Amino acid sequence: MSGSLVTKNGKHLVNKISDYQFQIYKEDSRGMNVPVTIFANDLLISKMALDRTLDQAVNVTTLPGVKKHVVVLPDGHEGYGFPVGGVAASDLEEGIISPGGVGYDINCGVRLIRTNLLESDIHSKLKILVDSLFSSIPTGVGSEGAIKLTSSELDDLLIDGAKWSVENGYGIDTDLESCEENGKMKGADPINISTNARKRGSMQLGSLGSGNHFLEIQKVDKIYDEEAANTMGIRKEGEIQILIHCGSRGFGHQVCSDYLRLSEQAMKKYNLNVVDRELACVPNTSVEGESYRKSMFSALNFAWANRQMLTHWTRKTFQRVLQLSEQDLGMELVYDVSHNIAKVERHRVDGEGSRDLVVHRKGATRAFPPGMEQLPVKFRSVGQPVIIPGSMGTASWILLGSPKSMDLSFGSTAHGAGRTMSRSEAKRTHTLDDVKKKLESRGIYVKSLTKNGLIEESPDAYKDVDMVADVSHKVGIATKVVRLVPLGVIKG
């Protein structure tokens, strides 16, 4: 592609800046406060132009207090209000906070667990491992977790996050050091969490859920950066790694729903008008903004506690099936990153110097470079691990945060492959046997609660994750470290 293309509704020209960067220039007549920057190649951006991805990004530029630019990452696709794979930063004092800019699955995220195992160590017991994990970890829409919490226990968990899980016997202290925000977002306060959200949360802790959430047994396919891989405890090709991808379940969904309604009502109070009702927002410093932030932070903590419990049961399953000790297995948490989040960070804005901004990452991963105090000590010399899960049956990637990300993308990169096919289209296109045969032909054993859960997540329903990682690498916002491929998968 050269020159420009037009977005779906025909309103906006997309200008090609380089092979991997595109821009929609700021147009005052359309109410744009800043331009849109898209990191993609020709194929990926042509797919974005087929749905509302780019038009939604332009809509986000019209929100009050948005700074520098709105970013669309290479996995970008249409979402609710904000595009998935989108990043926007608003002024802390004069800007807004938007539930749609975080998303329904608050702190949908992913964690990587390394092991001392090689593929040859588990080959004969792979199916038993997958079946045992499926039995140990509740999956599926509305699935109930293994633990039921009292109201006071839920409050404690919402304040302490993964720390609550570890203190209650579901993990070890070093796990907390390997989580974004140490698995506990300070400032969480469940005081305004609705009864419906509490009910859903108290029943679903310790469950994987459905959709694109999964637990995968993977192996190292190729190492691109040996120094960074060694820092992460990954030594050679063929090593077994575990990837857990899930979020805040129905609890986070209800928090988002509650505050979307509240924001819609409150906009009149603050004389806020948006070009799309899905962009409902409130001033960041308002009573409603503060209430949403405290509740959203509580949902972040729920998700970290949830992933921590799944990690504990995964370790116990491996010990039981393989009859190996914790020390022999060496199942250490490499890192846990959030995908759907909004928090205050300091970034440089052209002509304004460094300032505090509310960074919304909607289907985007933080990708901080070396030297940042927010990173665990062991990663400060190399940069933050970035984990990009592929779609079921395809590769996943470990990248490394780069200094360029701070200037180009508010310290962010892609969060996954990004859908190109709706779930209903996937069901029309594929059969259960078709999907299973394709996975089996690649040597992948899958266990799913429902046939739709498998069909809807067919690998070709997503973009090419290798291409997404390649764009991130070539732009320089996060660089390649390790490519992983799946051996066994459990899904809802």
Nearest to 413 by CA among 382, 368, 467, 360: 368
How many Å apart are CA 289 and CA 262, to the nearest integer? 10
Q: List the structure tokens of 86.
A: 């989108």
The region of weakest confidence among 317-321, 343-347, 390-394 is 390-394
d(CA 250, CA 239) in angstroms, rounded, equals: 34
Which range among 135-139, 159-163, 207-211 has the greatest average pLDDT? Answer: 159-163
Q: The CATH number of the domain where 391 resides is what?
A: 3.90.1860.10
Give the pLDDT confidence score for residue 30 in this predicted structure.
82
Residue 251 has pLDDT above 90, yes or no: yes
**Per-residue model confidence as pLDDT tens digits over 13-72:** 899 999 999 999 998 778 999 999 999 999 999 999 999 999 999 999 999 999 999 999
- Residue 485 in any domain: the answer is yes
* 359-413 pLDDT per residue, tens: 999 999 999 999 999 999 999 999 999 999 987 778 999 999 999 999 999 999 9
Exposed / middle / buried, residue 377 (Cβ in 10 Å: 0-12, 13-18, 19+): exposed
pLDDT at 473: 98
Confidence of residue 145 (pLDDT cuts 50, 70, 90): low
Residue 114 placed within a domain: yes
Rounded to an integer, the average pLDDT of 461-490 is: 94
pLDDT at 368: 98
**Whose CA is closest to 61, among 21, 95, 16, 31?**
31
**Which tens digit of pLDDT belongs to each residue from 402-412?**
999 999 999 99
Burial class (CB in 10 A: 0-12, 13-18, 19+), 236: exposed
Would the pLDDT of 11 be above 80? no
Domain assignment of residue 142, yes or no: yes
d(CA 243, CA 484): 10
Instruction: Return the SS3 of 180.
Output: helix
Q: Output the CA–CA distances (angstroms, integers) from residue 37 to 10, 118, 296, in the order listed.
A: 18, 42, 27
Q: What pLDDT, on a 0 to 100 scale, did the predictor assign at position 141?
A: 56
What is the model's pTM? 0.94
Q: Where are the alpha helices (DSSP H) in 137-286?
A: 151-160, 162-167, 173-177, 195-204, 226-231, 249-269
Cα–Cα distance, 470 to 40 (Å, whole number): 10
Average pLDDT over residues 148-175: 95
Axis crossing angle, helix 195-204 with helix 249-269, rounded to the nearest 10? 160
Collect all residues with Cβ–Cβ distance below 8 Å to 147 and sequence separation of at least 6.
Answer: 205, 206, 309
261-278 pLDDT, tens digit per residue, is: 999 999 999 999 999 999
pLDDT band of residue 449 (cuts 50, 70, 90) is confident
Q: Is residue 59 part of a domain?
A: no
Which of the four pLDDT bands, split at 50, 70 and 90, describes residue 143? low
Q: How many CA atoms lie within 13 A of 269 on its CB side?
A: 13
Per the structure, the complete domain to which residue 331 belongs is given by 108-491
- Report whether 420 contacts 77 (CB < 8 A): yes
Please state the rounded mean pLDDT for residues 115-138: 95
Rounded to 5 degrees, what angle do the CA atoms 369, 371, 375 make? 75
Q: What is the chain's mean pLDDT, rounded?
A: 92
**Residues 6 or more apart whose Cβ sits within 8 Å of residue 203:** 144, 145, 148
Q: Report the domain count for the chain.
A: 1
Which tokens sit at 319?
């010990």
- For the annotated binding site for Mn(2+), the residues are 105, 213, 245, 339
pLDDT at position 1 is: 46
Catalytic residues: 415
- Residue 210, pLDDT > 60, answer yes
- Judge whether 279 lies within some domain: yes
139 falls within a domain:
yes
Burial of 354 (0-12, 13-18, 19+ CB in 10 A): exposed
Which residue(s) pair with 258 in the sheet? none
On whether residue 40 sits in a domain, the answer given is: no
- Domain contains 25: no
* pLDDT tens column, 181-204: 999 999 999 999 999 999 998 888
Pairwise CA distance, residues 253 & 260, whole Å: 11
Has residue 471 got a pLDDT over 80? yes
What's the CA gap between 427 and 43, in Å, rounded? Answer: 24
